[in-house]
């Protein structure tokens, strides 16, 4: 068991993809692409510094922290699919997939290697957002007299855990789509169209036909809108960041299996990530069996 875990997480050659991607971005060999890469890094650093300055100027508070959490969620929703849509379908396009499956790499190593370094990037992104959150909490949040606009650490940690689980779920879903398509452009289109449908188009349609609230409308509308709302990370984050203080009688999130939003979503996203990772593993396993039959 120890050797198997080491092969999956420590001795996995697929993890070298992260190093190759980093070198490709900065174009170690030099040239005009290298200057463009450093320009992008400088612009991102400038925006980050501006964000910190704006938090200090606005004195923090619940509304500022809510904005930071939503910005983080938007970036996770955009970056994770972009990073993974060509993970396997791109190998097919580059005609490197046949060489990869002919090695001694197991389907488990490929799946773990493809997902692990992207999860590391997700963690780095969220760590970068912790500094603005800490500044916002300690600089002006305690001076906020409106208790319904005063952020709480429990709400922030719930939002952070939910965003992390959402990012992992997106990455796993993108890997599964990439494993079942032959072109990366097809993978990207399927991922973003499905996200657009779940996060925007279907909720708009449900609200138009009277199914906006999970406890409104007919029987089918109840459960359809309930599912849509509770798998929508943006809607859930809006509920989590409805800051309130029960002692002051402020209005908090709608009750759901107790009082908290976010906990249910964490479970849903982690369960979805496990299902999609296993489905990706099964797809690669079928290809391995086909390779073995061909000798």
Domain ranges for the chain, please list them: 16-58, 60-293
In terms of C-beta density within 10 A (0-12 exposed, 13-18 middle, 19 or more buried), how is residue 249 classed? exposed
Among 124, 127, 118, smallest CA distance to 81 is for 118
Q: What is the pLDDT of residues 20-52, one digit of tens each?
A: 776 666 665 455 456 677 787 788 889 888 888
> How many whole angstroms from its chain centre is CA 10?
23
The C-alpha atoms of residue 207 and residue 43 are separated, in whole angstroms, by: 39
- pTM for the model stands at 0.82
Pick from 57-61, 129-133, 167-171, 236-240: least confident: 57-61
Q: What is the pLDDT of residues 87-109, one digit of tens each?
A: 888 888 877 777 776 777 788 88
């Amino acid at each position: 068991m120890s050797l198997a875990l080491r092969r999956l997480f420590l001795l996995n050659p697929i993890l070298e993809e992260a190093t190759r991607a980093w070198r490709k971005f900065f174009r170690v060999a030099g040239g005009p692409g290298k200057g463009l890469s450093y320009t992008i890094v400088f612009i991102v650093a400038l925006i980050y510094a501006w964000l910190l300055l704006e938090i200090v100027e606005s004195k923090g508070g619940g509304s500022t922290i809510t904005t930071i959490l939503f910005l983080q969620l938007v970036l996770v929703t955009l970056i994770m699919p972009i990073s993974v849509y060509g993970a396997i379908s791109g190998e097919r396009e580059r005609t490197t997939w046949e060489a990869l499956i002919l090695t001694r790499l197991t389907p488990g190593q490929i799946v773990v290697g493809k997902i692990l370094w992207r999860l590391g990037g997700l963690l780095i992104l969220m760590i970068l957002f912790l500094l603005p959150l800490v500044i916002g909490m300690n600089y002006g949040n305690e001076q906020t007299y409106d208790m319904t606009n005063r952020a709480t650490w429990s709400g922030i940690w719930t939002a952070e855990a939910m965003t992390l689980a959402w990012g992992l779920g997106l990455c796993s879903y993108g890997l599964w789509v990439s494993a079942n398509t032959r072109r990366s452009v097809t993978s990207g289109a399927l991922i973003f169209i499905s996200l657009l449908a779940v996060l925007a188009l279907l909720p708009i349609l449900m609200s138009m036909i009277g199914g906006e609230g999970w406890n409104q409308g007919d029987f089918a509308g109840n459960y359809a809108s309930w599912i849509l709302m509770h798998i929508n990370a943006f809607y859930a984050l809006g509920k989590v960041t409805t800051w309130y203080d029960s002692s002051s009688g402020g209005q908090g999130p709608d009750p759901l299996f107790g009082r908290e939003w976010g906990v249910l979503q964490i479970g849903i996203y982690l369960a979805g990530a496990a299902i999609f990772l296993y489905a990706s593993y099964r797809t690669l396993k079928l290809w391995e069996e086909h390779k073995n039959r061909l000798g």
